[in-house]
Structure 1
Amino acid sequence: MTALDSFDIAILRLIQHDNRLPQREIGEAVNLSAPSVQRRIRRMEAEGVIAANVAQVLPEAVGLPLTIIVEVELLSETPAHIDAAKQRFRAAPEVQQCHYVTGEADFVLILAVASMSAYEEFTRRMFFESGNVKKFRTLVSMDRVKYGTALGF
């Protein structure tokens, strides 16, 4: 991976907030030509610095008004059990984020669900039927204070 210079960082700051900015506008803002901006963006995409170009959708706008944070503790923490849990969480559409963490919990999940009954169904499917969840702790978000993926660098 090529080291990022100040131009790359400036470009990333801009496109994190609006990745549809015309390259000409980006170039003007960072003092580069549009073709140079295009080359840098393509390089950063190819190297995986820019992981995706996606639309952020408000969950409540598509019928998923509940955001639930779940701490999950496994019974067995063998590499095979951890990998199996990662795969299950990765495949579940309710899971918006999954973090394998240190501390008392093994995983922290961020879920978007339609209702508490949908969350109950998720817990039955993912925690009770798996056979390897010791316990889980549920936090229901009352307000999304900050939402987004822009890095503050």
Structure 2
Amino acid sequence: MSKKNTPRPLDEFDRAILRIVQKDNRMPQRQIAERVNLSAAAVQRRIAAMENAGIIAGNTAVVNVQAVSMSITAIVEIRLKDERIETVDTAKTLFRSAPEVQQCYYVTGGISFILIVVAPDMSAYEEITRRLFAQNDSVASYRSLIALDRVKAGSTIVIP
């Protein structure tokens, strides 16, 4: 599906629909329609329009990392050797393509990137750090913070 990413204003119906589908994107559109006081056809059109505009970027399953034996979650600070466009873009491409990198943020404040990385065990995590950071000439330094507990994880955005 092609995303046009054209800005479009959201009205109260769109916002109500977004609040619902963020919590349960498998809810039947007729149930969504009942909750927001629209017809199922109107809900379907609005969801399709928000997908086409790039407001709804995708539909995914949130997987319990413990259930798939990914017991290590690391928050990793990356400092690049320089902040030239080609260095940053190369790093973005590498991190985006690494399946172990669950989230990646290009940030300010002396650190170049913050990553959320998952691995099945410490040996696998060591291999990931070698491949993505230690052997990467663009990385000046990195620091790993190993999560003790996932207190909250998810991607629900507050829709005013």
TM-score, scaled relative to structure 2: 0.93
CA deviations over 1:63-91 (Å, ceiling 9, x no partner): 21111000000112110011111111111
Could you list the per-position Cα deviations for residues 79-114 of structure 1 after superposition, in whole angstroms to 9, with x for gaps in the alignment? 001111111111111100000000121000001101
Match of 1:61, SS state, is coil
Q: Which runs of structure 1 show a deviation greater than 4 angstroms over 4 or more consecutive aligned residues?
A: none
| C-alpha deviation, 1:46, in angstroms | 0.7
Task: Report matched runs for 1:83-102 at 5 Å.
Answer: 83-102=89-108
> Who is 1:148 aligned against?
154
Does the residue aligned with 2:66 lie in a helix, a strand or coil?
helix
Partner of 2:4 in structure 1? none
The answer to whether the 8 A contact 2:119-2:125 is kept is yes
Task: Answer yes or no: is the 8 Å Cα contact 2:72–2:125 preserved in 1.
Answer: no
- Identity between Structure 1 and Structure 2 (%): 52
Tell me what 2:82 maps to: 76
Partners of 2:138 and 2:31 lie apart in 1 by 52
Structural RMSD (CA): 0.8
How many residue pairs align between the two structures?
A: 153
Equivalent of residue 18 in structure 1, options 16, 24, 42 = 24
- 1:117 matched to 2:119: no
* 1:50 and 2:53 correspond: no
Gaps of 5+ in 1: none
Q: 1:132 aligns with which of 122, 129, 138?
A: 138
Give the CA deviation at 1:143.
Answer: 0.8
Mapped contact 2:80–2:140 kept (Cα < 8 A): yes
Alpha-carbon distance in structure 2 between the residues aligned to 1:145 and 1:118 = 23
**Letter in structure 1 aligned against 2:127:** E
1:122 shift after superposition: 0.9
